[in-house]
Amino acid sequence: MIEVKQVIVVRTDIKMGKGKLATQVAHAAVEAVFQCLEKKTCVDMLNVWRRQGQKKIVVKVKSLEELLQIKKMAEEMGINTVIIADAGLTQLEPGTITALGLGPAPAELIDKITGNLPLL
């Protein structure tokens, strides 16, 4: 059976409190699922992922450029992606990109892009 997971990529070059960071990760996880359902692009993967326990991994990058490069590579591989931009109501300027949600997708595929990134 194919292993399916979701990876959330978080920027560390912007200063976010722990609560803000946790919220941004949650936004990325939820929005990626909504996008799968709305676009019907990865519903099969979503169902497998759900049965397998919804594995999620959170990794970090040092810049917006690095995050956008990962997004581009994931899209080229057909992996569901979603960018999270903060509303700017508390700690960050409106529109600040904080996180990237990937998947749910085959772990083997996601690992080709994010497998070398450090865990948050």
pLDDT digits (tens, 9 = 90+) for 90-115: 888 889 999 999 999 999 999 999 99
Whether 30 shows a pLDDT value over 90: the answer reads yes
3-state SS of the chain?
CCCEEEEEEEECCCCCCHHHHHHHHHHHHHHHHHHHHHHCCCHHHHHHHHHCCCCEEEEEECCHHHHHHHHHHHHHCCCCEEEEECCCCCCCCCCCEEEEEEEEEEHHHHHHHHCCCCEC
Rounded mean pLDDT of 4-19? 95
Whether 13 shows a pLDDT value over 90: the answer reads yes
Rounded mean pLDDT of 74-86? 96
**Per the domain annotation, does 63 fall within a domain?**
yes
Rounded mean pLDDT of 31-42? 92
Enclosing domain of residue 73: 4-114
Looking at the structure of the chain, the number of domains it has is: 1
Domain harbouring 57, CATH code: 3.40.1490.10
**Per the domain annotation, does 103 fall within a domain?**
yes
**Per the domain annotation, does 119 fall within a domain?**
no
Whether 39 shows a pLDDT value over 90: the answer reads no
**What's the mean per-residue pLDDT of the chain?**
95
Q: The pTM is what?
A: 0.95
Rounded mean pLDDT of 49-76? 98
